[in-house]
């Protein structure tokens, strides 16, 4: 089978790799679509994501959907031909975090297309993939597999909202309107936020935020550098802020507009190293700064929301390229003026 293999910075090759035999609890799937994530672009352009560097050839991709091809001897409830959402997380299910219901913090996590451990975990930009049976969530035959491949980034937004706590009637700020920021904004609205203000440095994603993702107002901080100043009122304005851009400057800007006792959820991955935080402001106003990393049960919730149509992710879909053109797709995916999210078709 063919796969998109990253060998390092700007070195992505479409290569033949071998299928492997199934264990008794595993399932082979034909991957239908794979969304190009910010982490995929970082691995391609920089050879690293945050502190995680590519140290051996690694297939990229973790936002995927597909069709069951073969099941292991002990697998029940799944059969060849079934459409399925594919959870990229393979937690150990036995560590203290898994047992406590926080499997996204698993101490022995295998996450598709990640260089966080060595040997790396090979990703889903491949024609076939072998997953543990609990990573396969069957869906109705009528399900749009392209939209279904957005379940993983939607689950990240839903998990960020979980970390934020109750949002009913709250004022919310989302800095960064890439796919994760847009889906976080939509998740906040789904959770009952009364107002959602979204920022970015490009107009196109902000249009999507206003039209399709529930933003009540948007601010282009590149053309309107003082666009958030009206929210810098005495005592603060926003109850909750989601930092989804991965920009240290965006994180710092939130402290001017978050209310006393408010909560900031860091969703975007910042560059390697440390970022300056106004700790005196955080302390004196009792602002809570917390992290949100991947997702737990929110993945299955994301699948249900997409399949039911309660959250329509179609607005962020910007185009699909065949696997053979993966390099082109990765080069184009970062053009924020033209695209929100591009996908690869692995089995056209």
CATH number for position 214:
3.40.50.720
* pLDDT at site 348: 73
* Same domain, residue pair 165 and 136: no
The pLDDT score that the predictor gives to residue 4 is 98
CATH number of residue 137's parent domain? 3.90.180.10
What is the DSSP annotation of 155-167? HHHHHHHHHH---
Q: Are residues 122 and 10 in the same domain?
A: yes
Average pLDDT along the chain, 348 residues, taken 10 residues at a time = 97 96 98 97 93 94 98 98 98 97 96 96 98 98 98 98 98 98 98 98 97 98 96 96 96 97 96 90 97 97 98 97 98 94 94
- Please check whether residue 71 is in contact with residue 78, taking contact to mean a CB–CB distance below 8 angstroms: yes
> Would you tell me the crossing angle of helices 179-190 and 203-212 to the nearest 10 degrees?
20
In a domain, 51, yes or no: yes
- The CB density around residue 277, as the number of other CB atoms within 10 Å, is 15
Separation of alpha carbons 264 and 242, rounded Å: 6
* Domain match, 221 and 269 both: yes
Look up residue 128 and give its two tokens.
């076939």
Token code pair at residue 237 = 């304005």
Element (H, E) at 258: strand 258-266
29 and 105 part of one domain: yes
For residue 137, being part of any structural domain is answered with yes
Q: Which of 220, 234, 240 is nearest to 165 (CA)?
A: 240
Q: Within this chain, do residues 18 and 133 fall inside the same structural domain, yes or no?
A: yes
d(CA 319, CA 172): 30
| Domain assignment of residue 182, yes or no | yes
> How many domains are contained in the chain?
2
Residues 162 and 284 in one domain: yes
Structure token pair of residue 293: 């990393």
Whether residue 277 sits in one domain with residue 167: yes
Instruction: Find the domain containing 183 and state its range.
Output: 157-291
Tell me, yes or no, whether 20 and 141 share the same domain. Answer: yes
Residue with tokens 């190009």: 36
Q: What pLDDT is attached to residue 65?
A: 98
Q: Is residue 301 part of a domain?
A: no
């Amino acid at each position: 089978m063919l796969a998109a293999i990253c060998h390092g910075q700007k070195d992505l090759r479409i290569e033949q790799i071998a299928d492997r035999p199934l264990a008794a609890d595993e399932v082979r799937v034909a991957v239908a679509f794979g969304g190009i994530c910010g982490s995929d672009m970082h691995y391609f352009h920089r050879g690293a994501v945050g502190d995680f560097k590519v140290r051996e050839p690694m297939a990229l991709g973790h936002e995927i959907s597909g069709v069951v091809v073969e099941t292991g001897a002990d697998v029940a409830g799944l059969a060849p031909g079934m459409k399925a959402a594919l959870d990229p997380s393979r937690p150990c299910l036995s560590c203290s975090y898994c047992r406590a219901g926080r499997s996204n913090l698993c101490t022995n996590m295998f996450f598709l297309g990640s260089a966080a451990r060595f040997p790396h975990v090979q990703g889903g930009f491949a024609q076939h993939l072998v997953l543990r049976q609990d990573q396969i969530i069957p869906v109705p035959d009528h399900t749009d597999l392209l939209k279904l491949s957005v379940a993983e980034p939607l689950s990240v937004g839903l998990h960020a909202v979980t970390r934020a706590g109750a949002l009913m009637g709250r004022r919310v700020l989302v800095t960064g309107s890439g796919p994760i920021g847009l889906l976080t904004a939509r998740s906040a609205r789904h959770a009952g936020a009364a107002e959602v203000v979204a920022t970015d440095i490009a107009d196109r994603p902000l249009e999507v935020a206003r039209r399709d993702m529930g933003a009540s107002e948007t601010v282009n901080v590149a053309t309107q550098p003082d666009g958030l100043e009206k929210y810098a009122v005495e005592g603060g304005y926003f109850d909750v802020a989601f930092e989804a851009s991965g920009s240290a400057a965006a994180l710092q800007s939130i402290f001017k507009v978050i209310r006393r006792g408010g909560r900031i959820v860091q969703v975007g991955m910042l560059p390697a190293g440390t970022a300056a935080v106004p700790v005196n402001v955080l302390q004196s106003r009792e602002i809570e700064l917390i992290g949100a990393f991947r997702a737990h049960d929110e993945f299955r919730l994301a699948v249900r929301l997409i399949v039911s149509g309660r959250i329509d992710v179609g607005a962020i879909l910007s185009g699909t390229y065949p696997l053979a053109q993966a390099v082109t797709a990765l080069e184009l995916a970062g053009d924020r003026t033209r695209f929100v999210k591009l996908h690869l078709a692995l089995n056209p």
